[in-house]
Amino acid sequence: MVSARQVEGPVVGARWSVKIVEVVVRGILSLAILVSAVLAFRWMGSAEARPAPPRGDGSPAVAVAEAERHMGGIEFEVDGVVVPYRSVSIPAEVGGRVVYKSDRCRVGSVVQRGVVLLRIDARDYELEIRRLSEELEQAEGTLRELEVELTNGRKQIELAEEDLRIQQRELKRYETARDPGVFSRSEIDAARRAELTARNGLQTQQNQLLLLEARRRRLEGAKQLVSAQLEKAELDLQRTEITASMDGVITSEVVEQDDYVQKGSTIATLQDSSALDVTCSLYMQQMHWLWQSSSGEVAASPGAPALPATDRTADAYAFPTTPVKVSYRLGPREYLWDGRLDRYDGAGLDQQTRMVPCRVHVDSPLQVETVVAGVVMANAATVAPPTLMSGMFVQVRIHAQPDVPLLRLPNEALQPGNTVWVVREGRLHKCHVRVADMRDDRDHVLIYEDSGSPAAGDQVVSSPLSAPVEDMTVRVQSP
């Protein structure tokens, strides 16, 4: 009987024989493939070496542009909002019931100066005029009576003076008689008494005349008072008719017919339509351009006397008046108005934006210029806005002419860090510049011309540079 160990021995030996055969076959195949590859490579041969094209001097080629002196000033635009130039509250100068309200006293209505807007019940004021007229007439009558009394008083004084002179002559005859015994003592005393009575009568008449004159002055003052009251009543009567104080547009009205209005209460608000303002804000750099371009400012010499404080303050807040264009776009059309930037809208910078609030004044909102595709339209008034209106969002186009030298470079020439590479005698030179104006809608940038900037006529690099260094040799591409 065969045991299990005797059967397992031949099986293991057969397996090892198969593995050895597989390894040998794989090695022979790999060697055959390698030999075939070597033979094929030798049969194909090696490629002929071609000479490389001759190299230049190794300097990178760059495109350049000429730095040009800019003489056209700086033009920039800022956003603005149209606001009223003048808005007037129309008050009721007298109280009373409204008996008439004009149809033109409505919001949005255009009115002319002098147009009647409201009428207040005038009967009370007419009665007051009648009463004061009667008082004035009575005062005048009293003065006329007093004039008669004054005339009589003056005549009475004349008679009293004549009587006094007579009594004085009579007394003198008694006192200067050659024979004192001719007249008795009682006759002399009677003459003296008559002279004293005449003197007293004259004094009484004079005092009476003074009283009459004082009374006349009092009555004349009373007459003037009544006359002033009458003028006030007539003025109040005129004020019962409320009219527009200027040409403009009604922007608010709070009173209706049959309402009762108090003296001083506002009945409507009138906006001036003859002129408008535009509020806008400028950066300090833009204000710097305007300050530099302002004319007529002469610096004080060191030996000049100091200005008064008020003059120095006015000079510090003086604004460089600048002509501007106010632009409003509506579809493909652009509407332009002439204006002037002439004052600050306050006394300092805005705390949130750090910008300078300014005001543009438009003298003629009705005179509009229409531009289509850059061409001024001659007969476009029928399709233009009727006028510049409050609340419009507009663009303010400002042209500054700073009295400083400027250079114009292509946008591509300005590198990060406000640097420019200049080619001089075939070598690169790095210049740090101060940018005056740069906008996305333009193909050039304006820089200040100073000692560290390129000079007019210099060649500035306008093409990209890979790792440029100072004094590197470059080749200028032909245009």
| pLDDT higher than 70, residue 277 | yes
CA distance 138 to 223: 9
The pair of three-digit structure tokens given for residue 368, joined into one six-digit string: 């509009």
CA distance 79 to 393: 7
| pLDDT higher than 50, residue 456 | yes
DSSP secondary structure code for residue 350 in this structure: -
CA distance 10 to 72: 109
**Mean pLDDT of the chain, nearest integer:** 82
Strands 87-91 and 406-410: unpaired
Tens of pLDDT, residues 346-367 = 878 888 889 999 999 999 898 8
- Whether the CB-CB separation of 437 and 446 falls below 8 Å is answered with yes
> Within 10 Å of residue 312's Cβ, how many Cβ atoms?
12
| pLDDT higher than 50, residue 49 | no
Q: 2-18 burial string, b = 16+ CB within 10 Å, else e? A: eeeeeeeeeeeeeeeee
Tens of pLDDT, residues 404-437 = 888 989 988 888 888 999 998 888 889 999 888 8
> Within 10 Å of residue 78's Cβ, how many Cβ atoms?
20
Concatenated DSSP letters for 88-153? Answer: EEEE-SS-EEEEEE-TT-STT-EE-TT-EEEEE--HHHHHHHHHHHHHHHHHHHHHHHHHHHHHHH
User: What's residue 300's pLDDT?
Assistant: 41
Concatenated DSSP letters for 408-453? Answer: EEEGGGPBTTTEEEEEETTEEEEEE--EEEE-TTSSEEEEE--TTS
156, containing H or E segment: helix 123-175
**Which range has the worst mean pLDDT, 13-22, 81-90, 331-340, 424-433?**
13-22
CA distance 323 to 73: 13
The pair of three-digit structure tokens given for residue 286, joined into one six-digit string: 């833009």
Separation in Å, CA 276 to CA 95, 108, 279, 384: 33, 16, 10, 18
CA distance 396 to 362: 11
6, containing H or E segment: helix 4-44
User: What's residue 478's pLDDT?
Assistant: 73
User: What's residue 295's pLDDT?
Assistant: 41
Helix axes 185-239, 123-175, angle to 10 degrees: 170
Tens of pLDDT, residues 216-238 = 899 999 999 999 999 999 999 99
Domains of the chain: 62-70+406-476 (2.40.420.20), 86-121+241-272 (2.40.50.100), 123-239 (1.10.287), 276-293+318-400 (no CATH)
Residues sharing a CB contact under 8 Å with residue 14, sequence separation 6 or more, in sequence order? none
Q: What is the pTM of this model?
A: 0.64
